Amino acid sequence: MNELITRTAYEIVTLLREREISPVDAVNASAERIADVDQHINAMPTLCVDQALEKAQALERQSPFGVADERAWLGGLPISVKDLTETKGVRTTFGSPIYRDYVPTQSDILVQQMEFRGAIVMGKSNTPEFGAGASTFNEVFGITRNPWNTSKSVAGSSGGACASVAAGEVWLATGSDLGGSLRTPASFNSVAGLRPGPGRVPRSRTLDPFTCMHVQGPIARDCRDTALFLDAMAGNHPSDPLSYPAPAKPYMDFIDNPAKPRRIGYTPDLGITVVDPEVEQICRSAVQKLEALDVHISDASPNFSGAVESFDVLRGASFATSLMGEYKKHVAQLKPEIVWNIEKGLQLSAADIGRAQRTQAKIFNSVHRFFDKFDLLVCPCAIVPPFDADLRFIESVGTHTFDTYYEWIAITFVLTLTSCPVLAVGAGFTADGLPVGLQIMGPPRSEGQVLSAGHLLEQLTEIPQCLPIDPKVTHVQSNDG
């Protein structure tokens, strides 16, 4: 493994800023690592190494800092971009055969902003079709496999992104999250991932620009690197009506000067789902480590009754809004889960949507009252450890059977309804060596607070020190595509 790959993003950016290494050095290290390991995990099926080298050479000729605040300057650091995010001149498929050969002529505003701040795109990370479903496979590129055990799933839909970071192909990756698409794969790959509040990271023009459900966010090996990336991603943009300016205090300051929470509410299940007993034990043991810092931890949770039903309705409406064009023109090419979700959305009445929105408001009010008493809410990030990569989704846990293909991630998607920032961070490993993660949620616009708490927890668990990992190849090699 190239020595540069073993260093964190923060360390590499420091070297880049001080000109001790060049952007070309970083790109070459990333390209070599991808060539070595992606054959085993299929995290980054689309590469743009030549384009990355051109950008690296151009950066070497520029001033060391490309923005007014150097703390948001990445200096030529290679990243991966999720294949739902358009990138100029780079094949962007959305994981769908409909867009198998699509090459955008303009980048998403997030890509533009990250490149302006010194990020270099190495390629596109794999995702399920249109990001639907919490397991990363599609008919264009096949299955993405877990570097901790290649017979296991990386979850989804940011599965390729999280695997690319865990295996050291890149130092940072973009992700997106509607119902847990960033957080669940972060848990399955033992990396850090942040679902920021709506508006913190700007989005390009969409068919549903006022939704608070879908956000983009950073993925990294640890919370320090996540904060570094969030500083580069955050900011106002006129294309996103929900976006607002980056805070005066950089997120890196919350890592450099972490403030411990006083009171944490912990719940194993949010009162709405089942959880594998080993997962619950690992998560509870991890959060209890914070007691060594005199943090008071209580079994407590807001009231999430009705949240599953509310999310089902709002998700269905979102699918009908955003994918109606593909449904009308290419329904035969869409995977059955997407067709089902769109058609469910089309069958909704105004009364259905109104009822779901009233439930969402009730949940938000319960969360607001909860944060009058507690600084943070902590719970498991996934109710099971990584499962077989060939499974499309989890149908049951124990004696409980799920009604939909995504209900098994209810522990993440009900938190989406709150619009609060949620951090996924490693909690530990099962007896079989599979990753388990925690969610840390704070009040609205408290991204710095949750990153600070995650950083303190990482210092107690030392889990990020395991990364990057050489893929543990346990499956029989085949053409997954």
Angle between helices 23-41 and 9-17 (to 10 degrees): 160
pLDDT tier for residue 64 given thresholds of 50, 70 and 90 = low
pLDDT of residue 398: 92
Per residue in 86-95, pLDDT (tens digit) is 999 999 999 9
DSSP 6: H
Q: Give CA 322 to chain center in angstroms.
A: 20
Res 476: pLDDT? 74
Q: What is the pLDDT of residue 244?
A: 94
**To the nearest whole percent, how much of the chain has pLDDT over 70?**
98
Alpha-helical (H) ranges within 323-397 are 324-330, 336-346, 350-373
Residue 63, pLDDT score: 64
Buried b (16+ CB within 10 A) or exposed e, 88-107: bebbbbbbbbbbeeeebeeb
pLDDT, one tens digit per residue, over 162-183 is: 999 999 999 999 999 999 999 9
For residue 426, pLDDT over 60 is answered with: yes
Question: In this predicted model, what pLDDT tens digit does every residue of 250-286 receive, in sequence order?
Answer: 999 999 999 999 999 999 999 999 999 999 999 999 9
Q: Examine the pLDDT at 479 and tell me if it is beyond 60.
A: no
Q: Tens of pLDDT along 143-155?
A: 999 999 999 999 9
The answer to whether 27 touches 120, Cβ cutoff 8 Å, is: yes
Q: Is pLDDT above 70 for 66?
A: no
Domain ranges in the chain are 3-466
Predicted confidence at residue 478, as pLDDT, reads 58
pLDDT bracket for residue 1 (50, 70, 90): confident
Per mean pLDDT, which range of 29-33, 59-63, 456-460 is the poorest? 59-63
Q: How far apart are CA 191 and CA 349, in angstroms?
A: 40
* Class of the domain covering 3-466: alpha beta
> Would you say 345 and 319 are in contact if contact means Cβ atoms under 8 Å apart?
yes
The closest of 261, 220, 200, 311 to 456, measured between CA atoms, is: 261
Per residue in 339-379, pLDDT (tens digit) is 999 999 999 999 999 999 999 999 999 999 999 999 999 99
Token duo for residue 178 = 């509607």
> Is 69 a residue whose pLDDT tops 70?
no
- Rounded Cα distance between 208 and 2, Å, is 43
In sequence order, the β-bridge partners of residue 47 are: 123
Q: Region 279-304: what's the mean pLDDT?
A: 98
**pLDDT recorded at residue 477:** 66
pLDDT, mean of residues 1-15: 95
